[in-house]
Structure 1
Amino acid sequence: MLAEFSITPIDRGNEHLSPYVAKTIALIKESGLPYELHAMGTIVEGEPEEVFALIQKCHVNMRQFSSRVSTAIKIDDKVGVTGALQNKVKSVQSQMGAHE
């Protein structure tokens, strides 16, 4: 399963959010799941139970820094597929090379 998610502390006003994102990334690293950080969120890969538990842990962790938290999640769950975090990008890149 791939899950792209972002967790935002809503009541931080004009503060930079990077310190809060860094705390979330620390939890993701601890999980041992493969992940990629992007400008608008983070993608993790793993078994559904692991991924959902991690997202819940990250959401609950953010609540200690904010009384209002927004979590957005997008999931791609294809049974039997592993390595999608890298393979999906490689597939697109190979198609791009074929058309250049």
Structure 2
Amino acid sequence: MAVAELCLFPLGTESPSVGKYLEPVIEVIRASGLKYRVCPMGTVVEGSVDEILGLVRACHEAILKAGARRVVISLRIDDRTDKPLTIEGKVRV
């Protein structure tokens, strides 16, 4: 199991407000069935690396379909094989 932080930045928009481009992305994430947490500056998801990469592709397609003419994607993946990795475990103090 891996934990990833995903941030999509739509460019080429007519306004500095980007909510209308990100709403379809959040819907794709919800529909994926993966555990996720929306954060102020990105979204954290939990799943296999293959599931996460498939989700990134679907999010990329969704933001372009929403009208963004350009998108920059930032993705960080933490994948451990020595012990279970969860969203909650990464924020436990």
Scaled by the length of structure 1, the TM-score of the pair is: 0.82
Structure 1 or 2, whichever has the larger Rg, is 1
Runs of 4+ residues deviating >6 angstroms: none
Shift of 1:4: 0.3
Q: Distance in 2 between matches of 1:68 and 1:11?
A: 6
Number of aligned positions between the proteins: 91
Q: Give the structure 1 partner of residue 78 of structure 2.
A: 76
Shift of 1:83: 5.0
Larger % of helix: which?
Answer: 1
Q: Distance in 1 between matches of 2:5 and 2:16?
A: 24
Q: Equivalent residues in 2 for 1:47-86 (5 A)?
A: 47-64=48-65, 65-79=67-81, 81-82=83-84, 84-86=86-88
Any unmatched runs of 5+ in structure 2?
none
Larger % of strand: which?
Answer: 2
Does the 8 A contact of 2:11 with 2:72 survive in 1? yes
Does the 8 A contact of 2:3 with 2:85 survive in 1? no
Q: Equivalent residues in 2 for 1:1-100 (5 A)?
A: 1-64=2-65, 65-79=67-81, 81-82=83-84, 84-90=86-92, 92=93
RMSD: 1.5
Sequence identity percentage: 31
Scaled by the length of structure 2, the TM-score of the pair is: 0.87
Any unmatched runs of 5+ in structure 1?
93-100
